[in-house]
Amino acid sequence: MTTNSSKYNITVIGAPGVGKSAITLRLLYQEFVDDYEPTKLDSYQTMMDYQGQDVDVQITDTAGQEDYASVRDTFLRSGEGFLCVFSLTDSDSYSHIEELYNQVKLAKSMEPPQLPFLIVGNKSDLESSRQTKTEDAQRFAESLGVKYMETSAKNNENVTEAFQFLIGMLVESRSAETAPIESNTGKKKKKKNGGIKRFLCGLA
Amino acid sequence: MVTAHERCSISDIVCHVTSYTVFGCPLSKLCSRQKVSVPRVITDCIEAIEYRGLKSGGIYRISGNSASIQKLRFKFDREETVDLKDEEFDINMLTGFLKLFLRELPEPIIPFNQYPIVENAINNDRSCGHEATLTTLKRVVHDLPEPNKSTFKYLILHLVRVAHEEENQMDEHNLSIIFGPSLLGNHPDKANLLVDLPIQNTAIERIITNYRTIFK
């Protein structure tokens, strides 16, 4: 098995305070970081295993704040896979999903099933404060043509699975791209440029 | 095309009949029309927020329902009488509403022409020392045109009270992340949010933390 050297990007989006950073840091450090600082923008590099293959993954953790919308928009364009998070205990955050989905669709000029987009209901450990039913979120995701999962960054439930799902989509679509038979699919996919990296450093 | 702000500044009568009477209207226009030193939307909102109490977790961070916030915005733009203390408005909706008003201002409360001065002070913070930065920030605030100065003070003193409540987890630092870009924006032509953000955050955090010195 060869090592896939090219990098895949997963961008984590969603309303403020839903646990985007908690999910990201759980994946990266296997611990629950209970820090209450709102994120401006963070970027991480990590290796993930996909079907026995080492995959180089860049994770972009974005701000949920509307005041940071212009930063987010830049990263919607450069993102490849989207982990769209809401909190199961905050129905307002659930109501933001559709808008975010439309923004991503527009930024990427792509639709499901090609669009690597996953809706994640986080904080499944807080069952007694749940405001969104699993069936409702499931049905809503289906109506958009995307997948739905429930996670708990606190109890480490489904976090790796959520990222794995998107990595799977990205790896598959890229290998389909390089296959000679389907030479036309995803031709527009942009190569990541140095500019983005520099931006990220600027904020660190 | 005539934009909302242009229309707003043409005449108050024109402004009055369009739906942009409050949101997107320059601070000075709004205040002189309402004959107040702080726009009513800000005082009404903050009074209602403080009436609810400032202990709510993630206050100003958690976003309220955006459809309800938009509805409320149209009511204010039509200058309908709205009692923000009514139970139908939850705390996250009220804070989201206030943040929306600040974002929609054609120019931030600290005007664009002051941005380079603040930027310079923050960038030289290490070499010139905290005291020098505070002196500059104090001068910038002192030199603000009247409605901006009163509004800024009113808002910052509220944020001081918010930061004071430990239960809400929104200290000066977290509040500065939320309010930095809307209170102290760079001119759109020169803005690079990724460079500007740390400057905006640091400046606003310093102002909240040192409000006594700043507003003395």
Residue ranges of domains in chain A: 2-190
Nearest-CA neighbor of B177 among A41, A14, A61?
A41
Please check whether residue B19 touches A, CB under 8 A. Answer: no
A–B interface: beta-carbon pairs under 8 A: 69
Whether residue B177 and residue A65 make contact (CB cut-off 8 A), yes or no, is yes
**Neighbouring C-beta atoms of residue B8, cutoff 10 Å:** 25
Q: What is the pLDDT of residues B175-214, one digit of tens each?
A: 999 999 999 999 988 888 889 999 999 999 999 999 999 9
Whether residue A38 and residue B103 make contact (CB cut-off 8 A), yes or no, is no
Q: What kind and span of H or E run contains A174?
A: helix A159-178
Please check whether residue B108 touches A, CB under 8 A. Answer: no
Instruction: Name the more confident of B140 and A177.
Output: B140
User: Which residues are CB-contacts of B43 (< 8 A; sequence separation ≥ 6)?
Assistant: B36, B154
- At A5, the pLDDT band (50, 70, 90 cuts) reads low
Q: Which long-range contacts (CB under 8 A, 24 or more apart) does B137-141 make?
A: B137/B203, B137/B206, B137/B207, B137/B210, B137/B214, B138/B213, B138/B214, B138/B216, B140/B110, B140/B114, B141/B110, B141/B207, B141/B214, B141/B215
Q: What kind and span of H or E run contains A55?
A: strand A53-62
- At A34, the pLDDT band (50, 70, 90 cuts) reads confident
> In angstroms, how far is CA A37 from the centroid of its own chain?
20
| Mean pLDDT on A108-130 | 96
Calpha distance A80→A101 (Å, rounded): 13
Calpha distance B82→B100 (Å, rounded): 17
Across chain B, mean pLDDT equals 90
**What is the sign of the dihedral through the CA atoms of B53, B55, B60 and B65?**
negative
Please give, rounded to a whole number of angstroms, the shortest distance from the CA of A79 to a CA of chain B.
Answer: 17
A15 contacts in B (CB within 8 Å)?
62-63
Interface of B with A in 176-215 (CB under 8 A): 177-182, 192-195, 197-198, 201
**Res A204: pLDDT:** 35
- ipTM here: 0.84
B178 contacts in A (CB within 8 Å)?
38, 65, 67
Tallying the residues shown for chain B, one arrives at: 216
Three-class SS of residue A47?
strand
Nearest Cβ partner for A92 among B65, B193, B195: B65
CATH no. for A2-190: 3.40.50.300
Nearest Cβ partner for A36 among B100, B174, B195: B174
**Res B20: pLDDT:** 58
Interface test with A, best of B71, B193, B196, B199 (most A CBs within 10 A): B193
Q: What is the pLDDT of residues B71-128, one digit of tens each?
A: 999 999 998 999 999 999 999 999 999 999 999 999 999 999 999 999 999 999 989 8
Nearest Cβ partner for B194 among A37, A67, A202: A202
Instruction: Report pTM.
Output: 0.86
Q: What is the pLDDT of residues A133-176, one digit of tens each?
A: 999 999 999 999 999 999 999 999 999 999 999 999 999 988 88
Across chain A, mean pLDDT equals 86
Please give, rounded to a whole number of angstroms, the shortest distance from the CA of B216 to a CA of chain A.
Answer: 30
Percent of chain B with pLDDT over 90: 81
Please check whether residue B94 touches A, CB under 8 A. Answer: no
Calpha distance B170→B62 (Å, rounded): 11
Interface of A with B in 24-83 (CB under 8 A): 36-38, 40-41, 64-68, 70-71
Q: What is the pLDDT of residues B6-50, one digit of tens each?
A: 444 444 444 444 445 899 999 999 999 999 999 999 999 999 999
B179 contacts in A (CB within 8 Å)?
67
Residue reference for tokens 């646990």: A19
Interface test with B, best of A92, A95, A131, A132 (most B CBs within 10 A): A92
**Res B79: pLDDT:** 87
Whether residue A92 and residue B193 make contact (CB cut-off 8 A), yes or no, is no
Whether residue B178 and residue A15 make contact (CB cut-off 8 A), yes or no, is no
Please check whether residue B42 touches A, CB under 8 A. Answer: no
